Structure 1
Amino acid sequence: MQIASLPYVDEHATVIAAGTDDVWRSLGETLDRSFLRPGAVGYARLVGSTDRTASGPRPLAEGSTIPGFRVVTAVPGRELVLKGSHRFSSYALIFRLEQVAADRSRLRAETRAAFPGLAGGFYRRLVIGTGGHAVGMRRLLSAIRRRSE
């Protein structure tokens, strides 16, 4: 499934007191650190994620993987696009960086996802409907901000 055809879910953003190069480095490090934890690796296996291990170049580049995701686009300092799928969903997480001042950057994280079938609908209610996804995204952006600053 093409990313553009995935339904929009949400977008979260934060302003970070650092340049885009520093934020880019922190983004990759934080994603690796977050998704390589035993709980995240186990979850990727439990739901049958296509990509269940970390592989490929670091810093993250096109073709790199972390549990649950494959990097499909990596433009350092500008955009990182992750795509994944499992039994209940096909999804993408798109990070966009922009310089807003000499020492400030805006990091946006857009989520797109399809949840096919009855099981997919239940999974959507469980993950999106409870607010769990939004909490997770805010925590992830906060961790990237702390690491960058």
Structure 2
Amino acid sequence: MDRPSPRDTSTGALSFVDEHRVLVHADADAVWQALGRSLPHGAIARTGARLLGAEPARAHGDPLVADSAVPGFGVHAALPGRELVLAGRHRFSVYRLTFSLEPRERDVVLVARTEARFPGLRGRGYRALVIGSGAHRRLTRRWLQGVRVDAQREGQRDGRREPA
């Protein structure tokens, strides 16, 4: 039996999937807040989580605070302005997504690192569909770009940054 047990919420040993970086012309606080706003929520996220049998399936708490959740991800660690670790599981995978903020002199590099395990035949099929097709890569890059645009806009609105 190599299917993840629904009772086991630990992520255990996971394999590296990919890592993406984006330079954000904003301070770490603006990036952190934009990251929080970008996390999955609402009816579409709940429906997707339910269809995949994801745990956790529903949101609770503040998504930028440890022990909270958004559909499909539990917040395992949250170090404001530095690191956000999300983890979850569903019928085909056990996964962890780590966002790290690397402050520079006037900017922040936002890094998204994905690790996962895809047990069994159905897990391998899911990996081919999502990872092998490039869909995960495209969605992660789009997610990071959205955070960048939001953080830069917010930083300009607050007068913290000059327009890029």
Q: Which residue of 2 aligns with 1:100?
A: 104
Report the CA distance shift for 1:59/1:43 in structure 2 as closer, same or farther (over 3 A).
closer
Shift of 1:59: 5.2
The number of residue pairs the alignment matches comes to 143
Could you tell me the percent identity over the aligned residues? 45
Gaps of 5+ in 2: 1-9, 153-164
- Aligned match of 2:41: 36
For the aligned residue pairs, the C-alpha RMSD in angstroms reads 1.1
**Matched ranges for 1:39-118 at <5 A:** 39-56=44-61, 58=62, 60-101=64-105, 103-118=106-121
CA contact (8 A) 2:18 2:114 kept: yes
Identify, as 1 or 2, the structure richer in strand.
1
Structure showing greater radius of gyration is: 2
Instruction: Judge conservation of contact 2:19–2:112 (CA < 8 Å) in 1.
Output: yes
Matched to 2:96, the amino acid is A
Asked if 1:23 is matched to 2:26, the reply is: no
Q: Given the two structures, how large is their TM-score scaled by the length of structure 2?
A: 0.84
SS at match of 2:104: strand
Maintained 8 Å contact 1:74/1:81? yes
